[in-house]
Amino acid sequence: MSQDDLERAGFKHRTRVAEALATVLDAVTGHDRTDRVALGRADGRVLAETVTAPTPVPGYDRAAMDGYAVRAEDTFGASGRSPAVLREGTDAVAPGEAVRVHTGSDLPDGADAVVMIEETEAVGPEVEVFDAVAEGENVGDVGEDVAEGEKLYEPGHRIRPSDLGLLKSVGVDQVTVYEPPTVGVVPTGEELVQHDPGPGEVIETNGLTVSRLAGRWGAVPTYRNVVDDDPNAIRAAIQRDLAKDVVVTTGGSSVGERDYTPEVVDELGEVLVHGVALKPGHPVALGVVEGTPVVMLPGYPVACIVNAVQFLRPILKAAGNMPVPDQPTAEARLERKISSEPGTRTFARVRLSEDGGDRVAEPTRASGSGVLSSVALADGWVVVPEEREGYDAGETVPVENWEWSA
């Protein structure tokens, strides 16, 4: 019997992905820790306040074109054959005058419109106007871009570089943001070593990978030392990190002889989900201890990554009051068939290439939750939903860039 068969046989019920995620998110409460930061430190942070514009943009009526500021009524009837002739002024616009302006410059007092430069001709001290303009024409009003008091952003908005520019333009120089969520990453398994593995030993990679993913997702990870397959040691490691917003363990999440983590979590708190209908990675467990979510990821590297993306990412986002943007996808023609078991959500790793102008997705490996290279050397994965038995060769499928940082 294969490892996947063994794992599946140990679970009488496998919860669907959407149900499992909804169950654990019901137990997650966003923290209330905030920080007041200058705009220069706010990129990528999540707002904890509603931001309104204290000043309008622009703060003055401005010329929207290069040309002459005029009183619209002085141009009435102007045309190419019969231009309006105005005196060229230098400051405020008096009746019968025109003042030279440039795009973005302050509209002189007395003016209510701008004639485009190509519709005028300066002749000595006079300006001939060949086109009539209406009041307000080619003029940017006060607050045309942003009105004073206008609501710009709500709490939970992740600040982008363009947001920083807008905030600075309205006179905001500091914002209140949520502190990043914290997560303790605890790799388990007495066979794990950091380097130079001997017979029966394995290099620890899951904790490193998960901690770096958590950092990309906006959290502050603490990557712990390896914990042996010992209930007391696992209990102590989890309790040590209950002050974090989230605890995540790797390994020991199945139902084998040395898979103690779900049992320990259930003793300390409650296991909400154990066994999920996805492949690779059925033996994930999700629980809560003293109000802190505990994500128990499988030990096989690919299964660990798949479950981290499906569960740890949204849990961290919820704990940190952060939005959960969809992963970007690219359409591609499938080179070979992908099979999937009905009722199970399958994540098939693929490489992308170009063929005659078409984007082609070639599966790297349809199964094998322990083959790290199948995901590390892939360009993304194709998600086969529960209601399908797979995708046929030649079908156009969305390829999800799971390693996208946001």
pLDDT tens readout for residues 133-188 = 999 999 999 998 999 999 999 999 999 999 999 999 999 999 999 999 999 999 99
Residues 41 and 174 in one domain: yes
Residues 160 and 185 in one domain: no
What mean pLDDT value characterizes the chain? 92
Domain end position, chosen among 178, 202, 237: 178
In a domain, 265, yes or no: yes
pLDDT, mean of residues 215-224: 97
Bridging pattern class, strands 84-89 and 97-101: parallel
pLDDT at 100 exceeding the cut of 70: yes
Residues 6+ apart with CB under 8 A from 144: 57, 58
In a domain, 302, yes or no: yes
Q: From CA 257, how far away is CA 6, in angstroms rounded?
A: 12
- Encoded tokens for 84: 């309006």
- Encoded tokens for 46: 């999540």
Q: What is the pTM of this model?
A: 0.84
Residue 361: give the domain boundaries.
Answer: 329-400
- Helix (H) or strand (E) holding 315, with range, is helix 313-319
CATH number at 294 reads 3.40.980.10
Residues 299 and 338 in one domain: no
pLDDT at 368: 52
Structure letter (DSSP) for residue 24: H
pLDDT, mean of residues 253-279: 90
Residues 133 and 210 in one domain: no
Rounded (5°) CA angle 340-344-345:
85
The confidence band for 356, taking pLDDT boundaries of 50, 70 and 90, is confident
- For residue 176, CA distances in Å to 35, 172, 330 come to 6, 11, 36
pLDDT tens readout for residues 295-316 = 999 999 999 999 999 999 999 9
pLDDT at 30 exceeding the cut of 80: yes
The confidence band for 6, taking pLDDT boundaries of 50, 70 and 90, is very low
Residues 174 and 194 in one domain: no
Q: From CA 115, how far away is CA 122, in angstroms rounded?
A: 13
The confidence band for 261, taking pLDDT boundaries of 50, 70 and 90, is very high
Residue 6 CB neighbour total at 10 angstroms: 13
Residues 258 and 164 in one domain: no
pLDDT, mean of residues 23-37: 97
The confidence band for 2, taking pLDDT boundaries of 50, 70 and 90, is very low
pLDDT at 9 exceeding the cut of 50: no
CATH number at 121 reads 2.170.190.11
Residue 231 CB neighbour total at 10 angstroms: 14
In a domain, 160, yes or no: yes
What's the number of domains the chain is made of?
4
Domain end position, chosen among 275, 298, 319: 319
Domain end position, chosen among 319, 339, 368: 319
Residues 235 and 292 in one domain: yes
